[in-house]
Amino acid sequence: MQFSLALVLLHLLFFVVATPIAHGETSDVTPLRANPRRSVDDAGRRNKGTVCQCDLSKAQMPQAPTPLPSPSTGLTLTHIAIGRGTQNYTCATNDSTTVPAAFGALASLFNVTCVDVDSPGLVAQLPGIALNLPIPFTPAVDHAAENFFDYSGAHFFLDNTTPYFNLNTATHQYGSGAFKKLAASNAPAGSIVGPHNKGNGAVPWLKLTADTAYADYTSQTLKEVYRLNTAGGSPPPTCAGQQPKIFVPYSAEYWFYS
């Protein structure tokens, strides 16, 4: 079974439609209840084919427990995606005398830009749900994947400390670039710690800024990235009983500024 973020939303949508709202309760997914299929179809069409076709000034960034710095003056939000992949670590030994050392990450990214504008509470749940779905990451070629979500691109590392995002594909050019960590916050209490909520914790929320040492820095349009609503990805506390390389499943919400 291939990973399809569209199917994630459909599972969530079933839950949303089936769950009544108590009298006086408010919810940012309420519009989906009135006509769920039309709402999701509309959001999918606005995602499809362009960076976005919705008013991103209405998007509200999730707030980290330790607030992350605001986007820099002059930058605008251009894309929101869900990433699903692995945080990667190495172990020099397989005993408790060493701890796992980070050596990057690998993830595929899926466009949820307009859905996040319409229903941020719904999108906030997607990393925890996506973490339970199998990989590889290529979306299923079906009506749901074609009409609801685009494959945004890939996330990987150029070296152990330089994350890279490539949002350019054969069908769109959303931007790319290398980054470095500017600020971090521990994930909120209650975050999903791993698949089926079993694991060693959610990786921190981050603000990344463009790496000026990267050769193509002057031409890259993506300038800042936030990693939010993380699920899973943290390594075991020691290398006891571990393989030389550890691949820990994770998912997160990414906000891109240009």
Half-sphere exposure of 74 (CA within 13 A, CB side): 3
DSSP per-residue letters across 209-255: EE-TTSTTGGG----EEEEEEEEEBPPPSS-TT--SEEEEEEEEEEE
Residue 248 backbone phi and psi in degrees, to 5: -100, 120
Answer yes or no: are the C-beta atoms of 226 and 179 closer than 8 Å: no
Residue 53 has what pLDDT? 72
**Structure tokens, 111:** 């466009």
> What pTM value is reported for the model?
0.81
Indicate the helix (H) or strand (E) that contains 94.
none
**Alpha carbons 215 and 188: distance in angstroms, whole number:** 35
Across 49-204, where does the E strand assignment appear? 77-90, 101-111, 151-159, 162-168, 173-185
The rounded distance, in Å, linking the Cα atoms of 65 and 204 is 10
Q: Which residue has the tokens 């945004």?
A: 152
Tell me which residue of 199, 41, 206 sits closest to 128, measured CA to CA: 199
Q: Report the SS3 class of residue 80.
A: strand
161-215 tens-digit pLDDT: 999 999 998 888 999 999 999 999 999 999 999 999 999 999 999 999 999 888 7
Cα–Cα nearest to 102, from 114, 90, 111: 90
The radius of gyration of the chain's CA atoms, rounded to the nearest angstrom, is 18
Confidence (pLDDT) at 72: 98
Low-confidence ranges of the chain (pLDDT < 70): 1-52, 135-149
Q: Where are the domains of the chain?
A: 5-18+28-49+74-257
pLDDT of residue 5: 52
Closest Cα partner for 166 from 79, 234, 69?
79
Read off the pLDDT of residues 24-43 as tens digits, 9 standing for 90 and up: 333 333 333 333 334 444 44
Q: Which two structure tokens, joined as six digits, stand for 207?
A: 């603000």
- pLDDT score recorded for residue 215: 76
By the 8 A CB rule, do 74 and 210 touch?
no
